Amino acid sequence: MFFTEIPRDLKIYGKTSSLSYSLRKHPGFYCVNTFISTYFSRNEPTPYMKTLFSLLFLIAGLASSAQKHVYDIVLFGNKIGQTVVERIDKGNGVMEYKLNSESKVNALFVKKTSVMNYDILYRNGQLFSAYVKNVKDGVTEISDILWQGTQYLITKGAEMLHLTQPIDFSAIHLYWTEPKGKSDIFSERLGQYCHFTKTGEGEYVCKLADGVSNIYRYKNGVLYEMEMSKGASVFLRLVP
């Protein structure tokens, strides 16, 4: 659907109203907004020009291309939630990754809930920033990672760590790429490297310090199933 009026965030005659943050992040937004602001500061808008500039905003928004994978979260054969991961090519060497996951289950008359959100940015093939929020049974954990030119600043609660080695492959890539030949992969959630072992054709295992084993299974290079095992197993299964 096309806009039929000027988008609300245009700076016309020195006034600015609100446009969604997501549109601001598109690479073409700044150039389009600057051009339109200059034009309307000198000319009275006409219906034709309103439509034309609205189309320019739409084109700027479409400058980003996105891919999406959806996984059902399954426990004992029952779907208990869903995980959605997105890879957004924003142009100019910038790639954004998003993950949103939510699940809930009643176990032994106790309600268990999990909500997880990732927002990760790569620039020219290198991890630039990562924000991970994990809320499990009402308890919130946040991991914040930022490249500062010579090192990463990793913040987890009150803990602050530094890492000097640039990262070109991290856990979010596992949803898109089989980790062939990789034995240590950086986890944005944990803020540290995790060891991976290949256990079969297209299958890799990562054992975490808390006793959970994450098993990744690939077919034709695509992650079709992930198993999180500690006693009982929870599965992420790719929705066709």
pLDDT tens digits along 80-139: 999 999 999 999 999 999 999 999 998 777 899 999 999 999 999 999 999 999 999 999
Locus of tokens 């690939």: 218
Per-residue pLDDT at 53: 54
| CB burial of residue 52 (10 Å; 0-12, 13-18, 19+) | exposed
Here the tokens at position 222 are 């695509």
Here the tokens at position 93 are 């060497």
User: Is residue 25 pLDDT above 50, yes or no?
Assistant: no
Lowest mean pLDDT among 21-30, 67-76, 126-135, 194-203: 21-30
Closest CA to 220 of 193, 238, 236: 238
**pLDDT over 90 for what percent of the chain?**
66
Per-residue pLDDT at 52: 59
Per-residue pLDDT at 129: 98
- Distance of alpha carbon 97 from alpha carbon 111, whole angstroms: 30
Q: Comparing 13 with 231, which gets the higher pLDDT? A: 231
- Distance of alpha carbon 154 from alpha carbon 135, whole angstroms: 19
Q: What is the pLDDT of residues 144-194, one digit of tens each?
A: 999 999 999 999 989 999 999 999 999 999 999 999 999 999 999 999 999
Per-residue pLDDT at 107: 74
User: Is residue 42 pLDDT above 80, yes or no?
Assistant: no
User: Is residue 213 pLDDT above 80, yes or no?
Assistant: yes
**What value does the mean pLDDT take over residues 33-42?**
51
Q: Comparing 48 with 65, which gets the higher pLDDT? A: 65
Would you tell me how many other CB atoms lie within 10 Å of the CB of residue 99? Answer: 21
**DSSP-H helix ranges across the chain:** 21-24, 29-42, 47-61
Q: With DSSP H G I counted as helix, E B as strand and the rest as coil, what are the percentages for the chain, rounded to 5?
A: 15, 55, 30
Average pLDDT, whole number, for the chain?
A: 83
Per-residue pLDDT at 223: 98
Per-residue pLDDT at 106: 87
- Distance of alpha carbon 97 from alpha carbon 72, whole angstroms: 19
- Distance of alpha carbon 43 from alpha carbon 30, whole angstroms: 20
Lowest mean pLDDT among 7-16, 45-54, 115-124, 153-162: 7-16
Locus of tokens 């930022």: 146
Look at the alpha carbons of 157, 159, 164, 170 in this order and tell me if their dihedral is positive or negative: negative
User: Is residue 50 pLDDT above 90, yes or no?
Assistant: no
Q: Are 118 and 112 in contact (CB under 8 A)?
A: no
Per-residue pLDDT at 23: 41
Per-residue pLDDT at 85: 98
User: Is residue 7 pLDDT above 50, yes or no?
Assistant: no
User: Is residue 236 pLDDT above 50, yes or no?
Assistant: yes
Per-residue pLDDT at 54: 57
